[in-house]
């Protein structure tokens, strides 16, 4: 695969990598306000994001692209000062990662890459459902389309 | 001011077309069917849609049967069942209906006729794992099915698959996500 199709796939993989990097940063913040088994779960999820990041970086290198670097810090979407807000942050991070993988599905018609994106987005959707205690009907799709 | 020549030409043209049509009708040679008499052949993504809709219908039937067998599960299962109904509605909205077909009826009828009667396990825990397995199966099946779909449908199927993976996790023991 070369040309614009390959470049769209690389862009989508870079976006997924950027989302994973942001989630890794965010879990560092969220985990700091959690205790006990909740913190244990956050640590497990954090590790899953790190391993997903490594997978994406190696996929990008395999396509001759240089994996984008993580930013030093990210602006919090809302104030995080307690356990409750930390859980909301974790769910927010997972939503962002879910949407990024959905972008991979839409950016390519290559079967392997599509399956990768669709399979990969199930993990953050499951983690978001864990934090919320409920599932979304259409994870990763924009809210405007959800309410239609 | 009139244009007798123009009028005449139009009249002659009109008459000859009518004559030709009449001759064709009478001649016995095969006239062409109206182009809209046969609905367009369904695109490949219509086949995918029908399959996925049938699978959603089957999941809905399983939830309904489990709730009927174990009414105490209603509170826990209703939100999940409602999301499957949302999936079905969104999938149905993707169908491009050929003119003359009765969309929702025929689609629903086809889907329903393919749904086997759910065999709910005898114990409540068994019924929950039965639904969990069904959700897992459908989440995995969607990842395979979306490969041949156009991009926007592929995304919708991927999203539904992610929802079903979440359902499977929520149906797991003690909220353990793994």
CATH number assigned to the domain comprising residue A99: 1.20.1260.10
Using the beta-carbon criterion (under 8 Å), do B162 and A140 form an inter-chain contact?
yes
Best residue of B59, B84, B144, B162 to probe chain A, by most A CBs closer than 10 Å: B162
Four-CA torsion B84, B89, B95, B101, nearest 10 degrees: 120
Number of domains composing chain B: 1
Dist CA B77 CA B98 (whole Å): 36
d(CA B142, CA B133) in angstroms, rounded, equals 14
Sign of CA dihedral A62, A68, A72, A77: negative
Is residue A34, in this structure, part of any structural domain at all?
yes
Number of domains in chain A: 1
pLDDT value at B107 more than 70: no
Using the predicted structure, report yes or no on whether residue B158 has a pLDDT greater than 70: yes
C-alpha–C-alpha distance, residues B31 and B173, integer Å: 67
Query: Within a domain: residue B122?
Result: yes
CB pair distance less than 8 Å for A118 and B163: no
The beta-carbon neighbor of B83 closest among A44, A135, A148 is A135
Q: Which residues on A lie below 8 Å from B168 (Cβ)? A: 126
| Averaged pLDDT of chain A | 94
- Whether the per-residue pLDDT at B176 is higher than 80: the answer is no
| A128 in contact with B, Cβ within 8 Å | yes
Joined together, the tokens standing for residue B149 give: 């779909």
- Contact, A113 vs A106, CB < 8 A? no
Q: Give pLDDT, residue B1.
A: 44
Residue B98 in any domain: the answer is: yes
Tell whether A43 is within 8 A of chain B (Cβ).
no
Of A5-14, A22-31, B9-18, where does mean pLDDT reach its minimum? B9-18
For residue A24, the enclosing domain spans 3-66+78-138
Assembly ipTM: 0.93
Handedness of CA B147, B150, B153, B155 (dihedral sign): positive
- pTM for the whole thing? 0.81
Residue A72 within a domain: no
Least confident of A104-118, B16-30, B76-90: B16-30
Please give the Cα distance from A114 to A130 (Å, whole number).
Answer: 25
Over residues B34-76, the pLDDT tens digits come to 877 776 666 667 889 999 999 999 999 999 999 999 999 999 9
Which residues of chain A make contact with B155, given a CB cutoff of 8 A?
Answer: 102, 105-106, 140-141
């Amino acid at each position: 695969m070369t040309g614009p199709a390959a470049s769209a796939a690389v862009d989508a993989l870079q976006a997924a990598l950027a989302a994973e990097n942001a989630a890794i940063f965010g879990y560092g913040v969220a985990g700091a306000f959690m205790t006990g088994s909740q913190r244990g779960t956050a640590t497990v999820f954090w590790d899953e994001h790190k391993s997903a990041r490594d997978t994406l970086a190696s996929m990008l290198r395999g396509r001759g692209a240089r994996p984008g670097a993580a930013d030093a810090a990210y602006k919090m979407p809302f104030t995080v000062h307690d356990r409750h807000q930390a859980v909301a942050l974790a769910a927010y991070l997972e939503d962002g990662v879910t949407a990024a993988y959905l972008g991979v599905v839409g950016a390519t018609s290559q079967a392997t890459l599509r399956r990768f994106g669709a399979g990969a987005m199930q993990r953050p959707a499951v983690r978001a459902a864990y934090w919320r205690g409920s599932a979304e009907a259409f994870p990763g799709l924009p809210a405007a389309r959800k309410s239609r | 001011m009139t244009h007798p020549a123009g009028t005449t030409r139009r009249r002659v043209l009109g008459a000859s077309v009518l004559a030709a049509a009449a001759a064709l009708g009478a001649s016995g040679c095969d006239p062409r069917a109206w182009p809209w008499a046969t609905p367009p052949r369904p695109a490949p993504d219509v086949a995918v849609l029908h399959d996925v809709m049938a699978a959603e219908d089957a999941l809905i039937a399983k939830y309904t049967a489990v709730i009927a067998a174990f009414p105490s599960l209603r509170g826990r299962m209703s939100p999940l069942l409602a999301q499957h109904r949302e999936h079905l509605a969104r999938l149905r909205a993707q169908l491009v209906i050929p003119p003359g077909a009765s969309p929702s009826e025929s689609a629903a009828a086809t889907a329903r006729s393919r749904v086997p009667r759910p065999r709910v396990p005898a114990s409540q825990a068994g019924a929950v794992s039965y639904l969990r397995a069904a959700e897992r199966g459908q989440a995995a099946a969607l990842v395979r099915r979306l490969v041949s779909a156009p991009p926007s449908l592929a995304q919708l199927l991927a999203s539904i698959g992610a929802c079903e993976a979440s359902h499977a996790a929520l149906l797991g023991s003690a909220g353990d996500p793994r």
